[in-house]
Amino acid sequence: MLRTRIIPALLLHEQSLVKTERFRRFRYIGDPANTVRIFNELEVDELAFLDITATRARRGPNFELLAEIASECFMPLSYGGGLCRLDDVKRVFDIGFEKVVINSYAYERPEFISEIARVYGTQAVVVSIDVKRNLLGRERVVSHGGRRVQAPNPESWAMEMERRGAGEILLTSVDREGTWQGFDLDLTKRVSANVDIPVIAQGGAGGVPDLVEAVREGGASSVAVGAMVVFQKKGFGVLVNFPEQSTLEQAFNLVRSRDEQI
C-alpha cells in the first residue's frame, strides 16, 4: 500500500473549479461536484479545496457549495479560504470536512491556529505557506494570493506554526505552481528539516517522477497536485485524471528499495 499521500488540490473561483499558473491567470476546469465524482471513481485518498477569491473578496466560505461537495465525496476533505472565525471553522467541520487550511489570517492572528487546534486537535489544522522569489531572486513568504509580502522566512514561519498547533504544513512554491517544472526541492528540504510535522509539497508537479523526488530529495511527507490531474498534459485540454495506484506503488517502492540498499 502506498504510504505517501498524493492529494489533488482543487481551486475554487466563485462556483467553479479553475487552475492557475504562478497564482495568476487561470483556466476553467469544471463543476466541483462533477469533478469530485470522477475522483471518487479514481479512488483518490484525499482532496483539498482552496477558495482563491474568498480572502481577497473579504468573505467567508461558500457553505452551500461546500455542502454539495461533501455530499458527493467519498474521501477525506480539507478546505481553505476566508476562514477567520471559529464559528466558520465549526460549520466547515459540521458539513463533513476533516481539515481546514489557514494561510493569510495566520499572519494577522497567529493565535487563531492555537484556537482551532485546542478545540479540534492539531490533526485538523493545516497551515499553508506560499513562497515566491522577487525580481532579484530573493525568497519571500507571501499571502493574500501572492500579493502581500510577509516578514518571516519559510523555515521560521513553519516552526512558529508548528509551535502554535498546526498539524501539517502545505508548502507552495508560487514560481513553480502550474508550470509542470517539478517541485522546488531546496525549499521543500529546508522547511521539512526544520519541523517535526508533515510537510505537503505543492507547486510544479508534472509527473510521477516529480512526486517521488519531492519525497525522496525534498523530504516531504506528502504531495499536492494540480495541473497534472486536471489536464491531459502540459498545453492540452482539461481531463480529470489520477496516476494508477500500481504506477505510484511501483515508483515509490523502487525508491524505498534503493534507499534501503544504501
Share of the chain above pLDDT 70, in %: 96
Cα distance between residue 200 and residue 241, in whole Å:
20
pTM of the entire structure? 0.95
156, containing H or E segment:
helix 154-164
The predicted pLDDT at position 187 comes to: 98
Is 130 catalytic? The answer is yes
pLDDT band of 233, cuts 50, 70, 90: very high
The mean pLDDT of the chain is 94
Q: What are phi and psi of 28, to 5 degrees?
A: -70, 135
pLDDT by residue (tens digit) across 98-119?
999 999 999 999 999 999 999 9
Q: Report helix angle 86-95 to 111-120, nearest 10.
A: 40
The predicted pLDDT at position 253 comes to: 82
Confirm if 107 and 100 have CB atoms less than 8 A apart.
no
Distances from the Cα of 151 to the Cα of 9, 66, 154, 157, 211, angstroms: 26, 32, 10, 9, 30
Catalytic residue among 130, 175, 184, 210: 130
Residue with cell 466547515: 92
Q: Report helix angle 154-164 to 185-194, nearest 10.
A: 40
Q: Which residue has the higher pLDDT, 251 or 65?
A: 65
Question: CB count, 10 Å around CB of 187?
Answer: 23
pLDDT exceeds cutoff 80 at 1: no
CA angle, 254 then 259 then 260, to 5°: 100
Residues 34-62, mean pLDDT to the nearest whole number: 95
Residue with cell 504531495: 223
Residues 137-162, mean pLDDT to the nearest whole number: 95
The predicted pLDDT at position 258 comes to: 54
pLDDT exceeds cutoff 70 at 24: yes
pLDDT by residue (tens digit) across 153-195?
999 999 999 999 999 999 999 999 999 999 999 999 999 999 9
What does the domain layout of the chain look like in residue ranges?
5-261
The predicted pLDDT at position 76 comes to: 97
Instruction: Spell out the CATH class of 5-261.
Output: alpha beta
92, containing H or E segment:
helix 86-95
pLDDT exceeds cutoff 70 at 11: yes
CA angle, 258 then 224 then 140, to 5°: 105
Cα distance between residue 220 and residue 236, in whole Å:
29
pLDDT exceeds cutoff 80 at 257: no
Residues 249-258, mean pLDDT to the nearest whole number: 73
